[in-house]
Amino acid sequence: MTTPNINYLKSTNGFRSCIEKGLRMGLFWADYGSSVEPPPCLNNKSKKSNQNCPLFKLKHTNTCPAEDDINPLNKMPRTLPQTMDHHQKRHLSTQRTVSSIPRNDINQNWEYPSPQQMYHAILRKGRKDVSEDAVEPMVEIHNFLNESAWNEIKKWEERRGCSNPKLSHFKGRASDYTPKSLLFYYIGKIYPSKFGSSLPFDRHDWYVSRDGKIVRYVIDYYDAPPEPSGQVAFYLDVRPAIDTPMAAYDRINAWTSKTWARLFENSGNLHS
């Protein structure tokens, strides 16, 4: 089956239910106030840090936080507590993982939420049906997807000669399907055996600093069938938004390069 996606990803975590109940909420970067210098390694954890971090997107409700409590970079709440909710039955980790993604505003990396903060985000969303046991694997998968998306962005930036891109801000646009995703969706209705026929479960626009200039990337997140081992899997379609002629050239050049490589590979197989 042909898909529009660049990368097929397998998570090391096998909790499919947390995808159905968690990731479909969408992903976002929430701000937690002033920051401290993060450890240089992604695997390091910080127990006490108020640094910006990725988190699940919160929809607007009737109890919206005050204007001053909203991060202007993403229109999301600045704070989520590290304490247990009064309905909570088990302790969740308050450790947070430093990402590999550099920030554009300060010389530090973005930081991911702790499972405890994630749980509060889920409650604010109004989702009380998510098991507390699923929160920690949910955070792992959330972080995994962000890191995978950033790795793809770095590959695109290398084509432009930028070796040190930085993430400025982003917008979650789950209900705004991209023209590309809609095109493949409708083609899949006609040729279901050849093309995927599902819409992405989420969409992000990431704004990246390329040597001081902000460029936009579009990311479509697709479900993929789970692995026989139980691993959850995804397709991520990460590409520059066609906001400039140069971005359009990059997209066309990448597509033609892959097409020619595939043709030569098939030709070699025929003659072997």
In order of 57, 93, 176, the CA distances from 119 in angstroms are: 12, 10, 26
pLDDT at 75: 52
- Quickly state the pLDDT bin for 272 (edges 50, 70, 90): low
Left, alpha or beta for 264 (phi > 0: left; psi -120 to 50: alpha)? alpha
Using the predicted structure, report yes or no on whether residue 254 has a pLDDT greater than 80.
Answer: yes
| Ranges 14-28, 223-237, 245-259: which has the least confidence | 14-28
pLDDT at 63: 36
User: What would the mean pLDDT of 186-204 be, rounded to a whole number?
Assistant: 86
pLDDT at 209: 97
8 Å CB contact between 60 and 175: no
pLDDT tens digit string along 46-100? 333 334 443 333 333 333 334 445 566 545 566 788 999 988 999 999 999 999 9
> Nearest CA to 58 among 128, 121, 135?
121
Strands 45-46 and 96-102: antiparallel
Tokens of 38: 């993060």
pLDDT at 24: 45
Q: Which residue has the tokens 């990337």?
A: 217
Left, alpha or beta for 255 (phi > 0: left; psi -120 to 50: alpha)? alpha
Packed helices 135-159 and 245-271: angle between N→C axes, nearest 10 degrees: 90
Left, alpha or beta for 252 (phi > 0: left; psi -120 to 50: alpha)? alpha
User: What would the mean pLDDT of 218-246 be, rounded to a whole number?
Assistant: 89
